[in-house]
Structure formats: structure tokens, C-alpha cells
Structure 1
Amino acid sequence: MRLFWAVLAALALCLPGAAAPGPPPAAPAGDPSDPPLLAYYYQWFSPGSWQRAKTDLPLAGPYSSDDPQVIDRQIAEAQSAGIDGFVVGWKQGTVNDRRLRKLVDAAEARHFKLAMIYQSLDFYRRPLPVAQVAADFRYFRDHFADSPAMLRVGGRPLTVWSGTWQYSHDDVARVTSAVRGDLKVLASEKNVDGYRRIADVTDGDAYYWSSADPEATPGYAAKLVDMGRAVHADHKIWLAPCAPGFDARLVGGTKPVPRRDGATLTAEYDAALRSAPDAIGLISWNEFSENTYVEPSRAYGDRYLQVLRDLRGVRATAVSRTDPGGSGDVPHRSAPGADPSRAYWAFAGLAAPMLLITPLAVRRLRAARRSGPAPAEGRETGP
């Protein structure tokens, strides 16, 4: 009965015109046919970055990740396409910290959500020292995790550790044991066995698989379903991947995945949905070296934002660059005049006060209702 009345109250909040004091802490929860969409976002760019390993450029030109106007426009464009948040690549450092702070400030202004993916492999794909990884997770907790922009699950900001497969079980436990009381830490394992190896010291899995071709990779969709089942069997968090295409030949890749004018993205999005994800991890907003970006570009214009709008059921809106947080930048996924993004997160934020209800109970309710800059410069984690 507690769950019934909590859900009823949440639905009331989602009605157009419902009063709310502001966006509460969020969690990947809600309609399993319409999970949150989180795009992997990279902040490694300076004007010189665009002169190497790039076959296309952003429509906005060779920008710097330090430019607040660029950051604000990116968030507004993402919102206009039904993207609920960014999973931002980070490791501790003066430049990265400064850029993450600017992104956090912009996300707070636009009521946009952020998660963090920690880059534990260096430019040559070597694992960073465990002590450095542990220190960086603590630094993130102490300096960024309290922002209202952070996507929360059960009250804890969501993070992903990229490269867990390079560390032993004891190494992973050493890092996560100090922060799991304050952060949700997802692994980035590539298969069920990898996930199970460290399941007891992590909070789920976010599989970063950008090189798969839905038309040519055997067992592609079935693998995602198997991983989703394994993670959910432990009542943990599953982020399923999807990408618009892939071509990393300029950074060591060998086999591209064609975009097929949006058909690849559509097929991968549908496969991700079939794995019952708690959120979908879109690869990527702006990975221009591996050519997985959906950010408007010179070669494709805003074609892939249009594909996302179709997939997400979002009405195209003009992107304002002078009114942060204005209603003109909010994707319309319900009745005109409503602010669906705030309503969505208001509903999702009920996960925290509903901690007494297990994830298994939530899934039963759903069933009843139905009847170095490695990521920006060649970060391919593959099958």
C-alpha cells in the first residue's frame, strides 16, 4: 500500500500544472519501456584536439571544453532530443576539474542530470595505480557529488568505473569500499562472467560497447539481455549501450560500423530496450575520434538528434542560447505547457524515500501493470 500511494502521488506531480518546489534527487526508475537516456560526454577538447584523428567536426566548430557557451548549448541540444543527462568522462586533474565544475554549474542551471565515468586507463590503455583510482573517487565524492545536478540512485550519485576488467577483485574492493556508502559505483565489465567476478563490490554494470554492428555481430541483442538479467538478478543497476555507428580506424580500429542514416542507432536502441535497462547509455554525445557522436556536425547536421527525437517521442523545439533553463529548451514529451523533464525526474526521485521496497518488488509491480583522454581519443572497450 505504501508503494501504491507513493506511485499515485508521483503521478499527481507529473500532471501539467502540478506545483513542485524544484527538481528533487533523481534515480533511473519509471516506465521500463521509456528508461532515462544518458549520453556519454567527453570534456577533453581544446582547439588543437580537432587537428588529429578526426574525419568530421562539430557544427559549432573546433570548440574548447572550457567554453561555458559551448557547454550550455550542448546541454540545451541534448535536452531538445530527449537526452536526460550526460555521463561525463573524468579523472582528477586541474583542467578536468575546472571543466567538470563548469559542466556542473551549467547542468544545475538547466535542471539537467550528470553521472561520472572514471577513466582508469591511460592513453596507452594501461591501468592507473589503484591508490590513484581510490584517491580520485574520494576527490569526486568530496568536491562534486553534493551537486543537485548529480543523478542519484537511492540518494547516492551514480558513477561508472571504466576499465574494471584490468583490476583484480581485491583492487576493485579497495577502491569501492571507501566510497560506496556515498556513491553508486558501476563496473564496466564486458560479459556476464566479468560482472559476476566483482558483483559483490560494485553496484551494477554499464557496458560500453560501441563497435558492435546490430546487423553483423552474432548474438548482439542476446548478449545484452543476458547481461541485464545477471545484473537484475542481484537487484543492481544495468546501463545498456547503444551507438549510432563506429569508425575508429584513425586511432587503431579496423572495422567500422556504418550509420545507415539512423538505422543503426534505431536497431541498437531497440536492442538496449529489450535488455530491460535501468537507463540507456548512448555512445556518445561527442566522441569524434571513434565517430560515435550525435552532437550536430558538419557532415550530418542535426540528423541524429532528429533520430533520437523520434525514438524518444520528443517534439522538436528551438534551442535558446540566452535563457538557461527556459521552457523553450525543455523537450515536450507530454501535454503542451507541461515541463515533462521536471515531472519525469520528480517521479524518478521517489526512489530515495522508497528504499524500503526492494528492486524485486518494483519489477513485480511493473510486470503486473503489463499483465588519458582514452575515451575521446580511441576508447573502444569492445566485446
Structure 2
Amino acid sequence: MRRLLILALAGALLAAGLFTGNVASAVVIGPPPSAPASAAEPATPLLAYYYVWFDPSSWNRAKIDYPTLGRYSSDDTGVMRQHIEWAKSAGIKGFIVSWKNTETNNRRLRLLMDVARAADFKLAMIYQGLDFDRHPQPVSRVAADLSMFRDQFAPDPVFLRLGGKPLTIFSGTWEFNHDDVAKATGPVRQDMLVLSTEKSVDGYRRLADVTDGDAYYWSSVNPDSYGDHSPKLAAMSDAIHRDGKYWVAPFAPGFDARLVGGTRTVDRKDGETLRVQYSAAVRSAPDVLGLISWNEFSENSYVEPSLKYGTRSLDVLRDLRSGAVPSAPSAALDSSSLAGPGRGAAGDARRGSALTNVGLLAGFPIVLIVTVGLIARRQRRHGRDIPAQRLPSDPKGTL
């Protein structure tokens, strides 16, 4: 009878597996719903442009949305820590910090460096080559600021290195002539990379001999009106890589700068714009992916959790970086209900898998009892009355 019961157990397991179309699913339970889906680490680092210019009064100008963290100051290290935690959860490896040499910017950069270093999070720097009115800074100031950054900040290991040198970007190079860019970058390029921010292959080539590549800050591209913008990014990548230099490819979740003098808008389309632009950036074979932006609330290109959009952009970005199925739309959330890793469709699928396994285990005793009953009936028909026995895996005889 023991042998028959063991056979019955195996048969019941096989039958249960057939109900699900997969024998292994009858005996293997997947990860708990809270466990994130495993995926290979993306090879290309993702950095988000990050701004440290916020005071509480900054939020009173040209804003149509606000962070879930409130109208914060960029001196608040608690805000910095939360930003980095959220960014890491979505696959962002570092921030490209907007900077020029002022007392306020230096203080805030040092605070951010301390927080990022403790969190094993990388930084890069984009120099503010244009002033508030979009005019170029005096080249003497640019050169002095870049030299000061090289001496006081760049040696810190918190800054991302490519080819052994810390990554920096010179914003607004299109407003400077070739010789002025050379004066600014020449003294520092032995110790750090300085990328231009040109908008075309011709623009990059104009400065190729005095810079180390290009980081195109293309926040306003509209995939609907521009069509497939991938060829432009690919052409820039090809030209830069032929020179053995570095390419930072841009992508953004949307854009609206009308309150700061702009006229163009790009609808977020519930995350679809972010997906399309991310795909185009990845196809250009970049050395770094440059997300525009973490917190540019004046141009409305931010992915930081906000009152209007909640965590939608980070949820989509997390799916893109993990290779998971895109999550369902999320409503705007307050800071007490922000989504974390494992939320969305991927988490729902794991929960569905767990429920399937629970149902399977619940039905298993029924299948087993019916099978044992049929065997017992067959034995009685042959005139044999075998006493009940305990299976080795059931020492209490409760089966």
C-alpha cells in the first residue's frame, strides 16, 4: 500500500501541474509580491540633470506643479537624501549637478557630495555658461570657475569618471566662439573631461578639438511633430565616437516652458513620451544616458514625484531600466503613498502567480483524496484489506 500511496502522491502532483499547463508550477512558488523582478544591470549609466537653485521663494515663480516634498530649499540634506533614494529605486546612478562658482552653489554642492558619497551615488557637473538672461558669461569667469572646480571638487571620488577623468559639461557652448571655448577648457582638460552642449554634428565638430565630446540638452523634442528623431541622435553619436570621445544622449518625460518665455509644449502622454525618447537615446549607443531632468520645474521636464503627476515618471523609468512590463497609470500621490520597487504590473503579475499557487495548494488535498479512494476501492474489489500506513513525510499520520 505504501508504494501505491507514493504513486498516488506523484500522480496527484502531476495532475495538479497539468491543470496549470506547467508541471513545475505545481511545486515551485515564486518570489513574494514585495520582491523586485530580477534583471541584468543596464550597461549604460543613467544620470539625471539636477538643480540646486531652489529657495522656498523660488516656488512662487513660473510653476504649475510642486514636489510632494513641498516647496523645499536646496540646502535641505533631508530632501537630498530622499531624492537620491527615489532616484536609485528607478535605476538612476547619479545626478548631473548644475553649478557655477558662487557661495550658495558651492555650499549646496558640498552638502550634496556628502549625501551622495554616503549613499554610493555618483555626481557629475554641468557648468552654467549662460546667465539668467541666456547671455554668455565672460570667458575669464568661465575659465576661473572651471579651474576652481578642478582644484576643489573634481578630485573627490564621488564624481563619475570616464576614462579615468571626472565628467563635466559646459552648458551654452553654442553662444561662445571656438577660441573662447579653448581658453576656458584648455587649462583643465588634462585633469577632467569637458563636454560641449552643441545641438548638431556641425556644432560638435566646431569645438571637437577643444572639448571631450558632447552632451546634447534636448528637452523640448516632440516625437509627434519631429517624427523619428533617432537619426539625429545616431548621427551625433557616430561623429563623436569616431573621434574617440564621449556622447551623453538626452531624453525627457515632457516639456512646457511657457511661463518662462517659451512657446513649445510636449505632452507627457502618461509616460509614453518618456518611453519613446528613452528608446531613441538608447539606440544612439551613448556612453551616458542624460535624463532631463530630476527637478527642472520651470520647464516642466522633471521626474521628481509631484502633486500633479505623482510617481508616474519614476514608475515608467523603473520599468524601462528593469525590462519589466510597463506599469499601469498611477494617480498623483502624496509623499505618504509613493510607489516603490515592485509596484505596478510586474508586482501584480507576481501577486497573481502567488494566488495561483495558493489555489493550487488548496486543491491538491482533494485530488490526492480522490486518487487514494480509487486505489483503496480497487484493493477491496480484489479482496485485500490493507491497514492504513503513514507516509515518511507525514510522521503524525494526518494525511
**Can you list the C-alpha shifts for 1:252-272, whole angstroms capped at 9, x where unaligned?**
111210000000000000000
Distance 2:308 2:219 in 1: 20
In the alignment, the residues of structure 1 paired with residue 289 and residue 182 of structure 2 have an alpha-carbon distance, to the nearest angstrom, of 26
Report the equivalent of 1:191: 200
- CA-to-partner distance for each residue in 1:63-83, whole Å, 9 max, x for gaps? 000001001110111001000
**CA–CA distance in structure 2, aligned partners of residues 242 and 179 of structure 1:** 28
CA offsets, 1:79-136, max 9 Å, x none? 0100011000000000000000000001100010000000010011100000000000
Question: Given the superposition, is the C-alpha separation of residues 314 and 69 from structure 1 closer, same or farther in structure 2, using an over 3 Å criterion?
Answer: farther
Taking the TM superposition and a 5 Å limit, the aligned residue runs for 1:1-383 are 34-218=43-227, 220-313=229-322
State the AA in 1 paired with 2:75: D
Structure 1 gaps of 5+ residues are 1-30, 322-328, 332-383
Distance across 1 between alignment mates of 2:106 and 2:42: 35
Q: Distance in 2 between matches of 1:187 and 1:113?
A: 20
Q: Secondary structure at the match of 1:216?
A: helix
Are the structure 2 counterparts of residues 194 and 32 from structure 1 closer, same or farther at C-alpha, using a change threshold of 3 Å? farther
Whole-Å separation in 2 of the counterparts to 1:309 and 1:111: 19
Q: Aligned equivalents of 1:102 and 1:142: distance in 2?
A: 18
Structure 2 residue runs without a partner (length 5+): 1-39, 328-334, 343-399
CA contact (8 A) 2:42 2:321 kept: no
Q: Which has the larger radius of gyration?
A: 2
Letter of the 1:294 partner, please give it: V
Using the TM superposition, give the Cα deviation of residue 155 of structure 1 relative to its aligned residue in structure 2, in angstroms: 1.6
Q: 2-side partners of 1:210 and 1:286: how far apart?
A: 13
Paired with 1:249 and 1:127, the residues of 2 have a C-alpha distance of: 22
Query: Does the 8 Å contact 2:129/2:172 carry over to 1?
Result: yes
Taking the aligned partners of 2:317 and 2:341, their CA distance within structure 1 comes to 15
1-structure distance, mates of 2:230, 2:224? 10
The Cα of 1:330 is off from its aligned counterpart by: 9.8
Does the CA contact (< 8 Å) of 1:209 and 1:241 recur in 2?
A: yes
Q: Percent identity?
A: 60
Runs of 4+ in 1 over 3 A off after TM superposition: 31-34
Q: Distance in 1 between matches of 2:224 and 2:41?
A: 25
- Secondary structure at the aligned position of 1:290 is classed as coil
Moved more, 211-220 or 44-53: 211-220
Distance change (3 Å), C-alpha of 1:330 and 1:305: closer
* TM superposition shift of 1:143: 1.0
1:34 deviation in Å? 3.8
SS of 1:198's equivalent? helix
Distance 2:85 2:242 in 1: 36
Once the 2 structures are TM-superposed, how far is the Cα of residue 35 of structure 1 from its aligned partner?
Answer: 1.1
RCO (CA 8 Å, sep 6+): is it higher in 1 or 2? 1
Letter in 1 for 2:221: A
CA RMSD of aligned residues (A): 1.9
Choose between structure 1 and 2: higher helix proportion: 2
State the SS of the aligned residue for 1:215: helix
